[in-house]
Amino acid sequence: MRDLLVAAQTEESDTAREQTKAEQDVDQVRQRAARDQQRLDSGAVTSPKDLENLQREITSLAKRQGDLEDVVLEVMERRESAQERVAELTERVTSVQSKIDDATARRDAAFEEIDGEVATVTKEREVIAGSIPADLLKLYDKLRGQQGGVGAAKLYARSCQGCRQELAITELAEIRKAAPDTVVRCENCRRILVRTSESGL
Ligand SMILES: [Zn+2]
């Protein structure tokens, strides 16, 4: 839209120049006709042939002036429509720009909020990670790297929430027997399984 606006502004200034030029042409013809008329009125020209020529020139200049005035009118019309386009496009550019400004402000606010959340969550994670045995944390981080950012998953209704697979009966039986602090893993995706009251054991 800015490109269209620049094009319309260029057309406006071009037609403004064209209008000045056309008006100067009209002026020139008008001045010449006035000079001729003065000479005619002064009585200085007496020869019938010269008078006829002068009269003919005045008539032809009047015709020429009319034609040139039509050109001025035509240029003015084009200039006016260019001015209208400039006004319309200026309004549209302003309106789109204000939408951009608004979206930018909302995006920046969202960034700020997300940054704040990241800082909070990072701090929380540090605290929790500090309370987890080093070897378990190492295993978790390794799995997290291999499994798209999720190293541990809830065992929910006999299914691993990491890979969404239901565990085999024998696997469930083993998990049931395992001590509460034993680290159990999903047979399928190898993620650490977190047992809860909803695990279906
Ligand atoms: Zn799994």
Whether 117 and 139 map to the same domain: the answer is: no
Q: Tokens 């064209």 sit at which residue?
A: 18
C-alpha 124 – ligand 1 centre gap (Å): 26
Of the three residues 122, 145, 167, the one that is the final residue of a domain is 122
Task: For the chain, report the end-to-end CA distance as a whole number of angstroms.
Answer: 64
C-alpha 177 – ligand 1 centre gap (Å): 19
Whether 111 and 148 map to the same domain: the answer is: no
Of the three residues 90, 122, 154, the one that is the final residue of a domain is 122
C-alpha 118 – ligand 1 centre gap (Å): 27
CA distance 22 to 132: 88
CA distance 31 to 29: 5
User: Residue 138: its pLDDT value, please?
Assistant: 96
Whether 33 and 57 map to the same domain: the answer is: yes
Whether 155 and 112 map to the same domain: the answer is: no
CA distance 177 to 139: 22
C-alpha 12 – ligand 1 centre gap (Å): 69
Whether 11 and 85 map to the same domain: the answer is: yes
Whether 37 and 85 map to the same domain: the answer is: yes
pLDDT digits (tens, 9 = 90+) for 45-87: 889 999 999 999 999 999 999 999 999 999 999 999 999 999 9
Task: Confirm whether 93 is domain-assigned.
Answer: yes
Q: How many residues does the chain have?
A: 201
Degrees, nearest 5: CA angle 141-143-145: 70
CA distance 57 to 67: 15
Task: Confirm whether 127 is domain-assigned.
Answer: no
pTM for this model (two decimals) = 0.59
C-alpha 162 – ligand 1 centre gap (Å): 5
Domain extent for 30 = 2-122
1-9 long-range CB contacts below 8 Å, 24 or more apart? 1/89, 1/92, 1/93, 1/96, 2/93, 4/89, 5/86, 5/89, 5/90, 5/93, 8/82, 8/85, 8/86, 8/89, 9/86
User: Residue 60: its pLDDT value, please?
Assistant: 97
Task: Confirm whether 129 is domain-assigned.
Answer: no
pLDDT digits (tens, 9 = 90+) for 158-167: 999 999 999 9
Task: Confirm whether 177 is domain-assigned.
Answer: yes
C-alpha 192 – ligand 1 centre gap (Å): 8
Task: Confirm whether 29 is domain-assigned.
Answer: yes
Whether 59 and 146 map to the same domain: the answer is: no
| Residue closest to 170 by CA, chosen among 154, 187, 189 | 187
Residue spans of alpha helices (H) in 48-151: 48-130, 134-146
The count of domains in the chain is 2
Whether 98 and 171 map to the same domain: the answer is: no
